[in-house]
Structure 1
Amino acid sequence: MTKRRWSVATYDGNLSGNAVGSVAPTHSITSASDLREINVAVQQSPASSSHSSTPPVRRILDDPDLVAATTRKSSACPACRKQKIKCIMENAMPPCKRCAQRGLLCSPSKSLQGLMKDQTRWNSRMKRHFNRLQVALNEARAALSLPPVLVMDEIDTADEEAKVRETDILSDDALDTVEGTLAPDSLASAPMHSLYEVTTLRSINETNRANDTANAQSDMQSRGLVVDPDFITRGVITIAEAEQLAKLYLGRLDHFFYGHLQHYLDFASIRKTSTLLALTVCTVASFHDPLGSELYDKLSRELRNLASSLMFRPRLGINEIKALCMSCYWLADMSWMMSALVARKAVSMQYHTKHLDQPDTDREDFCCSQMWLLIYLSNEQISMLQGVPQSGVSPNYVNWERHMASPFATEADLRLVSHIAMLLIISRVRELFGLDTRKKFPSIHVPHLREFHAQLDRWGASWSGRLEIARNKHIGHFPSEAVKLHWHFSKFYICSHAFRGLPTTSDVVTGTLPPELQDVAECAITTAFSVLDLVLESEEIKAALVGMPHYFHTMFAFAAVFLLKVATRYTQYVQVDIERVFSTIRQVLQVFGQCPCARQHLVHRIASGLHEMLHRCELQQAAEVMAVTKRAAGDANTDRQTLTEAESALNGVDLGVLDDLQPLELENFDFLSALPASWLTEFDN
């Protein structure tokens, strides 16, 4: 029979001798072999089955106090333990005396108790180190007006990793689809439903909708994407500069944008909500700051990069939608792309259905309806100014009467829907007359043109009275003045169709303007003067030149260029007072030159380009007057080209600059395309 080891014998004796008492062995368990022997002995012991169904060894190992009490501390090195001799170490540190004398490797193996103590000390040290890092990080974030990083409780890492893997799989297999449906699945449903039925892609939208349901509707106003590190943390601008720009925006500019950010108190509150919104606020404010030219170059580059990163993001918060609408509203050099992006995102999140559900919705859905009207406003204005088809929102999904029936509608909504009502008329004009400016305007459409003209008159009379409200302390009477400006510009835009497809005086003359279009063309000239006269006569418009959306500035540029080209190239069709044209534009240039804003602002760009164009037109007019005078004097051998060359040389101007006045294409007018390259800010990718 094999002799039992002393540890097993001692342990077995304690178990059999005391059934209820505490375990108090004279020696501790030292190795895995000891545990196996103890387990065998306990299983063979008849007394072990009468106390508990749990093996005693298991109960001992589950109790850290018992483990500490039954663990023998071994400090001998392997060489001395093999020889069963005393291992003497000075200061309890290897090597021992015997190993040092013999040149042996002395590395005592740690006991279970020693390992547990080392682990406890390491955990305690790491916890203190983590706490110090946590405090330092939160102090740094507080200095940058960022929220603190919270310490999370223990989480099930296995479940979290499974969720991450599931999200990655879904995102890899996802289609570029619209979330939600207008009607339940049926034979008449959208074709995409069939794809969902034969593939596993349906679970993608169901997962998105389940996640959306988990987020409370009341949290929509504050939901947004916060990027860390953001443009402040990375040092694009300082926190002091950002706070100053946000103060400028919230104090004045936001009132032009219908006051959608008035519930924010300062830059810190905006920054906590959405990085894109905070960046857009700073970019727009620097654009209107006379000292913000350098800041605008940096911020606009950041804005382009951040907006590009949102291109394939499945969802955007309400604040990201606001930020994109703000970019379309003020920043002409990126409004075309931004308007297309925000329209797609809003459609994918069913903003159009929330608009049509008015007025029976809550405040959050009403805010989505406001954004939907702003998106339509931006898309319609930009497509009209560019002379291209609509790229976003169909007028069939716009109903401002429903929107105004909501109990949440305010004065700002009244201003917004006044512009929407006017653009709905313009959209019907563009749909009927088309966009091809090369074809002459057919006489058959003259009655329709007059009917649209009458509709605009009724619109102007109606909304001028409805917006005669108390003066706004931030933007004065700009809302009512804006209605007048829209009225004149819309009539001017419609009447300008009379000049479609007409050759200029430099071309071969093939005819004159049809009689039925004569009064329409004259009305176009009259209303173009009215647009520019409002800039000169209305103090409210002058004060709002820095702050109003770029749509208004394009109105002024369009009217001015129209008058210059009619006065120099289309005099065979209509009579125009050339001196009045030149005088009016000089006065407009003086007003624009006094506007305090960044050098990239449209008023400065328009002023520079318009000044150069005016100078060319004056030279051309002077040369034509000189040619007429010499012909009247009998110098028949001098043609117009020779006289113009002489006059241009006399004034030190190259003849080639006069050829820049191309034939008038009113529908495709884009003032930015006529600017020298040096005026347009270039941005890195």
Structure 2
Amino acid sequence: MCPDGMEMSPLKRPSEDADYEDGRRPAPRTPRIRACAECKRHKIKCEPVDNEAKCAKCLRSGAECVPYNLNQRLLDEDAAWKANASAELGQLRSAVQRLLQYNKLPGLNSPPEESPQPTSGRPMTISPTNIMSESGHTTMVVPPSMDMTRDTSVERESGEESGLVTAPMKSLYDLTRIRNLSSSVRWKPNSNSVDEDFIGQCIVPLPEAEDLFKRYMQDIRLYLWAGVLFPYNSLDAVRRHSTLLTAAVLTISALHTPGRDEALQKCYNIFVSLVYSACLARPQNLDDIRALALAAFYLSNLSWKLAGLAVRNAVEMNLHMSYQKLMRGHEDQRDNVRLWYALYVCDHQFSIAYGRPSIIHEDIAIKNVDRFLDSPKTTPGDIRLGAQVTLFKILAEAYITYGSDPEQPLTEPDFQQLRLFNFAIEQWRLAWQARSADSPAIGSYPSKGVVLYYHFARFQLNSLALRALPAPRAATSESLSYDRREAANIAISAATSTLTLIFEEPDLRKAMTAVPIFTHTMVAFSATFLLKMAKTWGGMAQAQAQSPELWATEPIGLGLNFNIAQVLSLSRRSASFLAKVAQNLNEKHITRHIVHGINDLLTRIDVAATTTTSTTPSAAASTSAAFPVPSPSSVSAQVVFDPGKGAHDQAPPDPSNEYNMYDLIGSYGFGFDETFFGQVASTNLDFWQTDPF
């Protein structure tokens, strides 16, 4: 027992107890596992020396003191590694703290937000950093903490609602004063420093940025309503107002310039990163909304997402109220109204393109677009913009009337309303083609563009007559009534006129390298529709040419004015023309893939080696003029009928020829993603393949 009655620890030696009795604690010794190699070899006691790495024997002899046990070496190396790691972690922590302070983000010592826990299973762990991969490039986004701070200002902001009845969220904000609930967002120009943006940091060198900007200003800007979405004349001006708009313009320019793959990839990555950062932020800059809309018109893989984001941000900034303010005499709202009209067209173009409902309805600004254009301050770009607003008002009403269900055919009463829509489009062309004045820079594109949209609108509307019809061989004169045949023939004529107009108008051909992707979609959809008509209905022409007696009860094509040879010729010209257009664009541009898709359809339909079945003069004479007997170069070899079988026993040998009317015309929309892009072989899409949203 110890003097104080406690038991002595078995780990303590008597010598240690003696030291404790006189109040002196032994000096700490250097830890060592067994003897060193030198002492072990001489079989002597290895005596460590305080504050020395060597033992007493090795110090006297000058020998290297190496631990006999390798574990000692591991302990020494571990201690050295920990010391170095601690120093490096301190440096990294200091650097991260500076970065967080520079970006006005919470510091490392800020208390973390409590993350929600699932009701069952393992606890959910939420990392403070989100890691997203964009085509092999890793982007780290540090989210800010949830802001539930109160607004200390009691002053009413200008433009806020007043009175007893307000918006529900406005009442909640008045009650709680939480900043994030405020329904009014003031426009604030960005105080961007040109020394801190991606050009100032030399991610995109200044000479390269100036070259791309010059390309955009000279060759692209004027084709979108004379630059309504881009009100700046110099690169320095746009850099000072919006980094996002700068990135959008340079990305679009690189996409329309051949050989700028590296610049396109850099600008695209910057633009997408900036969109990610701004996605959940409160909008405070109209130029950022312009950037989203501008990119939606030209970046095919992001168009749908960017158009919706731009509209929601604009509504949050009360841009939809700009028209009323302008009518009350606030002339500073005129550009805001222009932006609202551009967003309306953008929203409806891609809503129709994808066959989906639009976001912006026909509000007071849309209904009174003519009143907006009555001002003496109206520009030629305003006229062109107003023309598209009024056209998409008609198409939006048709969408509401007929919907987008591909399995819902039009009824006979529906065709009376369809005639009214056709009449409205005729009136639209008469009203706006004359008002769309030619331009010295882009020639007759404004007026010819009205004609192009006129043909396409008629095609889009009247193609609904073929929706959800039975297969051609099962169709009768009852299923294809006079009204339905009339509308179907208008659709065929309009699709043909769309392609023909582009070939015959020099200013339209010149514009195809700079127009938004919606115009390219017109060409793609028209050619696709006509080629599928040739594949679907063209077999009937060949069947009657081979066995006219089997088709005596029903006229070939059931009265559809369709010429297979003309369709194949137009489609080949379309592919050839767009291939030349693509030579002046970057290889990532959608035009190259449209060419590939049209050629793929032509390969499946137009085969050089065709059947050489002879046709008697009487059989040829009995063939309907609507479907002349195809020449050997225009008859599909994939649709071959056996004359020895009955008309309704004929079957195409290729399962890929099975009839699908939805595949022919899509829904009310173009079937932009489902029908067309599903056929385009993505040979080298790189960063277009993955939608980052």
TM-score by length of 2: 0.65
Asked if the contact 1:363–1:408 (Cα under 8 Å) also holds between the matched residues in 2, the reply is: no
Code of the aligned partner of 2:280: F
Question: For residues 229 and 504 of structure 1, do their structure 2 counterparts lie closer, same or farther at Cα, with a shift above 3 Å needed?
Answer: farther
Q: Distance in 2 between matches of 1:252 and 1:627?
A: 44
1:372 Cα offset (Å): 0.4
1:255-289 CA-to-partner distances (Å, cap 9, x unmatched) read: 11222477634322322221111111100101111
1:480-504 CA-to-partner distances (Å, cap 9, x unmatched) read: 1110001111111111110111133
Q: Residue 172 of structure 1 aligns to a residue in which SS? A: coil
Q: How does 1:655-666 map to 2 (within 5 A)?
A: 662-666=663-667
Code of the aligned partner of 2:246: A
Percent pairwise identity:
25
Mark the runs of 5 or more structure 2 residues left unpaired by the alignment: 1-143, 152-156, 539-556, 612-634
* 2:507 corresponding residue in structure 1: 540
Q: State which of 348, 358, 361 in structure 1 corresponds to 2:326.
A: 358
1:16-66 CA-to-partner distances (Å, cap 9, x unmatched) read: xxxxxxxxxxxxxxxxxxxxxxxxxxxxxxxxxxxxxxxxxxxxxxxxxxx
Q: State which of 548, 569, 586 in structure 2 corresponds to 1:598.
A: 586
Question: For residues 174 and 462 of structure 1, do their structure 2 counterparts lie closer, same or farther at Cα, with a shift above 3 Å needed?
Answer: farther
Code of the aligned partner of 2:575: L
Q: How does 1:35-434 map to 2 (within 5 A)?
A: 171-173=147-149, 183-186=161-164, 188-201=165-178, 205=182, 212=186, 223=190, 229-257=196-224, 258-260=226-228, 264-398=232-366, 399-434=368-403
* 1:452 matched to 2:430: no
Asked if the contact 1:289–1:598 (Cα under 8 Å) also holds between the matched residues in 2, the reply is: yes
Q: Residue 592 of structure 1 aligns to a residue in which SS? A: helix
Asked if the contact 1:476–1:540 (Cα under 8 Å) also holds between the matched residues in 2, the reply is: yes
1:676 Cα offset (Å): 2.4
Code of the aligned partner of 2:570: T
Q: Distance in 2 between matches of 1:174 and 1:581?
A: 66
Code of the aligned partner of 2:573: Q
Asked if the contact 1:359–1:406 (Cα under 8 Å) also holds between the matched residues in 2, the reply is: no
Question: For residues 182 and 437 of structure 1, do their structure 2 counterparts lie closer, same or farther at Cα, with a shift above 3 Å needed?
Answer: farther
Q: Distance in 2 between matches of 1:452 and 1:586?
A: 32
1:541-600 CA-to-partner distances (Å, cap 9, x unmatched) read: 100001111111111111111111111114555341111100011111111111111112
Q: Residue 339 of structure 2 aligns to a residue in which SS? A: helix
1:431 Cα offset (Å): 1.1
Q: Distance in 2 between matches of 1:627 and 1:276?
A: 51
Higher relative helix content:
1
Question: For residues 184 and 297 of structure 1, do their structure 2 counterparts lie closer, same or farther at Cα, with a shift above 3 Å needed?
Answer: same
* 1:569 matched to 2:569: no
1:431-453 CA-to-partner distances (Å, cap 9, x unmatched) read: 11112121111111111100110
Code of the aligned partner of 2:689: E
Aligned residue-pair number: 491
Q: State which of 639, 642, 665 in structure 2 corresponds to 1:631.
A: 642
* 2:465 corresponding residue in structure 1: 498
1:309 Cα offset (Å): 1.0
Q: Distance in 2 between matches of 1:550 and 1:457?
A: 25
Asked if the contact 2:529–2:664 (Cα under 8 Å) also holds between the matched residues in 1, the reply is: no
Q: State which of 475, 490, 494 in structure 2 corresponds to 1:523.
A: 490
* 1:667 corresponding residue in structure 2: 668
Code of the aligned partner of 1:610: I
Aligned-residue Cα RMSD (Å) equals 3.4
Code of the aligned partner of 1:285: S
Q: State which of 592, 596, 603 in structure 2 corresponds to 1:615.
A: 603
Code of the aligned partner of 1:678: T
Q: Distance in 2 between matches of 1:243 and 1:556?
A: 32
* Greater Cα radius of gyration, structure 1 or 2: 1
Asked if the contact 1:322–1:371 (Cα under 8 Å) also holds between the matched residues in 2, the reply is: yes
* 2:571 corresponding residue in structure 1: 585
Q: Distance in 2 between matches of 1:252 and 1:628?
A: 45
Question: For residues 261 and 490 of structure 1, do their structure 2 counterparts lie closer, same or farther at Cα, with a shift above 3 Å needed?
Answer: closer
1:627 Cα offset (Å): 8.7
Code of the aligned partner of 2:642: R
TM-score by length of 1: 0.65
Q: Which stretch shifts more, 516-525 or 616-625?
A: 616-625
Q: Distance in 1 between matches of 2:285 and 2:446?
A: 29
1:330 Cα offset (Å): 1.6
1:362 Cα offset (Å): 4.1
Q: Distance in 1 between matches of 2:178 and 2:374?
A: 39
Q: Distance in 2 between matches of 1:450 and 1:527?
A: 15
Question: For residues 636 and 443 of structure 1, do their structure 2 counterparts lie closer, same or farther at Cα, with a shift above 3 Å needed?
Answer: closer
1:290-336 CA-to-partner distances (Å, cap 9, x unmatched) read: 22233223322221121121112212312112111211222221110
Asked if the contact 1:226–1:274 (Cα under 8 Å) also holds between the matched residues in 2, the reply is: no
Code of the aligned partner of 2:677: L
Asked if the contact 1:440–1:500 (Cα under 8 Å) also holds between the matched residues in 2, the reply is: yes
Compare relative contact order (CA 8 Å, sep 6+) and give the higher one, 1 or 2.
Answer: 2
Question: For residues 338 and 629 of structure 1, do their structure 2 counterparts lie closer, same or farther at Cα, with a shift above 3 Å needed?
Answer: closer
Code of the aligned partner of 1:495: N
Code of the aligned partner of 1:674: Q
Code of the aligned partner of 1:283: T
Code of the aligned partner of 1:498: A
Q: Distance in 1 between matches of 2:639 and 2:535?
A: 15
1:511 Cα offset (Å): 6.2
1:240 Cα offset (Å): 1.3
Q: Distance in 1 between matches of 2:352 and 2:603?
A: 29
1:407-462 CA-to-partner distances (Å, cap 9, x unmatched) read: 43211101110111111111111111112121111111111100110111111011
Q: Distance in 2 between matches of 1:401 and 1:244?
A: 39
Code of the aligned partner of 2:306: M
Q: Distance in 2 between matches of 1:408 and 1:359?
A: 14
Q: Distance in 1 between matches of 2:231 and 2:399?
A: 38
Question: For residues 617 and 555 of structure 1, do their structure 2 counterparts lie closer, same or farther at Cα, with a shift above 3 Å needed?
Answer: same
1:338 Cα offset (Å): 0.7
1:615 Cα offset (Å): 1.1
Q: State which of 516, 519, 522 in structure 2 corresponds to 1:555.
A: 522
* 2:689 corresponding residue in structure 1: 682
Asked if the contact 2:149–2:178 (Cα under 8 Å) also holds between the matched residues in 1, the reply is: yes
